[in-house]
A and B are shown apart, each in its own frame.
Chain A
Amino acid sequence: MQRRFIPRQGLEPLIRQTLDAGYRLHAPQSTDGAILYRPIHHSGQLPWGLHDHQAPGHYRLLDNGSPRAFAWATGPQALKPLLFRPSEPIWTLDLDSDGRPSFIGAAHTEAPLALLGLRPCDLAALALQDAHFLHGPYPDPAYAARRRGLLTIAVNCSHPAATCFCAATGDGPNAQGGYDLLLDELDDGYLIESGSAVGKTLLDRLDTLPATDMQLEAMATQRASAVRAQQRKLPNAEQLARLPAQHDHPHWAEVAERCLACGNCTAVCPTCFCHAHRETPALDGQSSVHSREWDSCFTSGHSYLHGHVVHTTTRERYRQWLTHKLAGWVEQYGRSGCVGCGRCITWCPVGIDLTVESAALVDANPAQGE
């Protein structure tokens, strides 16, 4: 695919064209002290000049006056809450005057969704959520409806955070595919390429310039330095395959002494899919909404079984989370469930770092901390 160049102001027509094509466009914006994806109408809403400082248990946005809009790494959430809603109805029950039930499945009729500014690890997480929600025995209609028209405009990461390790998982910092459009941000503008027919149509509607050799060189240098900037690593696939057999390792109890079992890690993790069904009957008893909401394997309800709980202690729950994420997914979906985004490290209130814990458990060389 031919790579083109758009100057900095070129984001405005890109946003305009996407909106004019009928998409609900979400893009990163500084919201409540973090970068989150929100509906966007003009390029002035992007987080221009902002940089993030991330470390275990730490996240802060700083204005460093850079001319860039994407000089930051992942915020707490990206695509997951937009496709797999934190809470949504599945069906509604109505009782007629004789108490006879009828069931109405939830309708999904939103306009197609577009995201500007997705990171490569977000695309990798999207592929994993697709594997779970679309390619299992029962494809999920709510997820499928939102996924169907999804337009992804990704931006390669030029500024990974200290918590990022997508280079080690093979999911970033430069996207390998799975996007409609891909941007590399330079100081004076963007190199842009399409990855699909829809992306190409959109690209053709923009005023672009051919990319110069200097720009391409700057891009290559930037891509390589983003890889080098990453400090953390996960144990390799062979080492992680040993994790289930470490069931009785004393280190689980050691982590459990620090872990608050708050579930922040599962909430921010872009691949965690667990959800609970919940019943909300109307006060008059004539109708009821059966919905689902995000759940976490750190709750006692998650493994409830006939009056007891399978994962009783924090030790068992942390073990479930890490073993499922790093090993269980391999059998379920052909690869680890971790895309190296670092969110669970940043948003853990006590700064537990899965790269360090997993290395200790499989006796790999400890990953380097900050």
Chain B
Amino acid sequence: MHAIDNAPDTAGLVPLAAEIIQFIQETPSIFTLRLRFTDPAAHAAYRFAPGQFNMLYLPGVGEVPISIVSDPQDEHLYDHTIRAVGRVTHALANLREGSRIGVRGPFGRGWPLTEAQGRDVVIVTGGLGCAPVVSVINYILKRRAQFGHLTIMQGVRHADDLIWRERYEAWAELPDTQVLLAASDGSPIWPWHVGHVPDLFDQARLTPGVSLVMMCGPEGMMRAASGDLIARGIPERDLWMSMERNMHCGMGLCGHCQMGPKFVCQDGPVFNYPEIKALLARKGV
């Protein structure tokens, strides 16, 4: 018989029940669930870091990985912003306040907020409503003095795809904060750039060694943006990105989230560029 060293338990494996305290319809297809665990002790004990995710479980339907967007020090409610794209997320979109779901997590490694202290932070996102970076923007804005200049760059396909437009407009008014938006397909009232995110780098405040870049969005965009930023002298170790893969367990067990040898659910979802640059360069990994 061989000794088994770490005594296993079911932590993380079995969901905890949570109630939807508030349901916010952000756009026709994007909504935010504000959750409270039904067990007060579990609610109080819950801890997470920006960039981590939970597996949300809809009874009888299944689970889906969703990034946590609320502030880690706000013990009031745990917020999840979700886009209805698949079977489970469409079903979650039909829930209302008072509905109960299951929650497992938090899982994975979040954003490098300690490394980012005192640095200029550049947020680069593409695609629709990139929840993982919303958590970090909120985190920095709440602790403004701990960070340097903040640049928020967001690219969307069509001008109408931008969610939280008022929020971007409000952020743009803040001191020491720069907001740069691009839509590859603008609209008559689109005041921002028409084109792609990397086009905006000329206008962004990028200081090699000072700027720390956090990215999220389609892999093609992150691949192109990384190349561009490195060409502008940003060291590879200052580039961080949140990756996405299929996830069933979140615990490094089921194998679905593998990207090469990385388990995105545990080794990520946030990676430092040098850890994954070889993988990012290969399509279909």
Contacts and interface: CB of A to CB of B under 8 A. Distances in A.
Interface of A: 90-91, 93, 95, 99-105, 130, 132-141, 144, 147-151, 178, 180, 196-198, 244-245, 247-248, 273-277, 279, 281, 285, 288, 290, 292, 295, 297, 301-307, 310-312, 316, 319-320, 323-324, 327-332
B258 A307 contact: no
A137 B254 contact: no
B41 interface: no
Contact of A274 (B6, B256, B261): B256
Chain A CB count within 10 A is highest, among B59, B244, B282, for: B59
Contacts of A295: 254-256
A137 B60 contact: no
Closest 9 CB pairs of A and B: A274-B255, A139-B8, A281-B60, A138-B251, A331-B261, A328-B261, A105-B14, A277-B248, A144-B8
Contacts of B249: 277
Interface in B75-106: 85-86, 99-102
Contact of A312 (B63, B254, B284): B284
Interface of B: 1-2, 4-17, 38, 57, 59-63, 85-86, 99-102, 244-246, 248-249, 251-256, 258, 260-261, 263, 266, 278, 282, 284-285
B13 A302 contact: no
A294 B63 CA distance: 18
Nearest to A150: B1
Contacts of A135: 5-6
B255 A275 contact: yes
Contacts of A105: 10, 13-14
A101 B255 CA distance: 28
A24 B126 CA distance: 56
5 contacts: A93-B102, A139-B7, A247-B282, A274-B255, A277-B62
Nearest to A303: B246
Given A135-B6, A148-B4, A277-B248, 10 more contacts: A100-B38, A133-B253, A137-B252, A138-B12, A196-B1, A274-B255, A277-B62, A304-B246, A330-B261, A332-B261
B8 A140 contact: yes
Contacts of B60: 93, 279, 281, 285, 288
The DSSP consensus for interface residues of chain B is loop
Contacts of B99: 99
A302 B63 contact: no
Given A100-B17, A134-B8, A307-B86, A178 B59 contact: no
B8 to A, nearest CB: 4
B255 A273 contact: yes
B218 to A, nearest CB: 10
Given A136-B266, A137-B251, A149 B1 contact: yes
A99 to B, nearest CB: 7
A246 to B, nearest CB: 10
A198 B245 CA distance: 43
Chain B CB count within 10 A is highest, among A100, A290, A316, for: A290
B14 A103 contact: yes
Contacts of B102: 93, 101, 103
Nearest to A99: B100
Contacts of B284: 310-312, 316, 319
A293 to B, nearest CB: 10
Contacts of A329: 261
Contact of B85 (A93, A150, A275, A306): A306
Contact of A310 (B8, B14, B245): B245
Given A134-B6, A139-B6, A101 B256 contact: no
Nearest to B244: A305
A101 B17 contact: yes
B265 to A, nearest CB: 9
A324 B13 contact: no
A103 B17 contact: yes
Contacts of A147: 4
A302 B178 CA distance: 40
A312 to B, nearest CB: 7
A150 B29 CA distance: 51
A328 B246 contact: no
A292 B255 CA distance: 12
B260 A302 contact: no
